[in-house]
Amino acid sequence: MAYPLFDLNGKAALVTGAARGLGKACALALAHAGADIALGLRDINSGEDVEEEIRAMGRNVLRLQMDVGQLDQINAAVTRAHHEFGRIDILVNNVGIAPANPAMDVTESDFDETINLNIKGNFFTAQAVGRIMKEQGGGNIINMSSQAGYIALDDESIYCMTKAAINHLTRNLASEWAKYNIRVNAVAPTFIETPGTKPWLDDPEFRKSVVDRIPLGRVGKPMEVAGAVVFLASEAASLITGEIMLIDGGWTLK
């Protein structure tokens, strides 16, 4: 009998936005499961602590300058990761921003920056890695979506729009690239305790409003998202593609 395999030994993963928050958690969790890790960083001078933790696990790790708002940096980083590791088996497309603006106050620059990072950057990163995965016979792409792709959040219209787009992009790439043995899935978290959400969750009134919407009665932790990423990247999920896995404590059930 063949049991599910969660082991990622011998695999190489690229995680974007890996310096902190969900990206950091995903990088550490994948390394803990056995993968070597390329850290895609908006500023290559960041992420030293993540690199040290991964090296302490006995994994190979590489820091890369990778602002996904710049196509040349995407291509250069993916090429370097491929050269160093000889393959890229896993991509975690984690970069995203969420500027809070009422829809009537959104500026063109706000709109363009959010679209550029949340959709364009993630698409072209998937494309660059997908080409490598096609040649090597397969791989796994996990996009970072959000419950915001399913629900309306006041003052977050552009962010919600981009995450809905990521959901459908995930399905489209999964369908188109299945013939190359490339699985494409997404995880869609609720509010998670990260440096990015701290300014909001530190407000007791806001935190209560969030927790009141979550049937499990609490906000999430980064490793609860990273655990789902490890599962989707592993052979235990070998028949799963085109799925958006909600990690929302039940928020969207209501």
How far apart CA 89 and CA 166 sit, in angstroms, is: 20
Task: Spot the catalytic one: 3, 150, 159, 180.
Answer: 159
Chain centroid to Cα 134, Å, comes to 20
Chain centroid to Cα 197, Å, comes to 16
Q: Which residue has the tokens 């969660």?
A: 6
Q: Which residue has the tokens 């003052």?
A: 155
Give residues with Cβ within 8 angstroms of 114, minimum separation 6.
97, 98, 99, 158, 159, 162
How far apart CA 136 and CA 139 sit, in angstroms, is: 8
- Which phi and psi angles does 140 have, rounded to 5°? -130, 130
Q: Which amino acid is at 177?
A: W
Q: Which amino acid is at 138?
A: G
Please, are residues 36 and 60 in contact by the beta-carbon 8 Å criterion?
yes
Q: Can 159 be counted among the known catalytic residues?
A: yes
Give residues with Cβ within 8 angstroms of 163, minimum separation 6.
96, 118, 145, 146, 148, 149, 188
Burial of 9 (0-12, 13-18, 19+ CB in 10 A): exposed
Q: Which amino acid is at 96?
A: G
**Enzyme catalytic residues:** 159
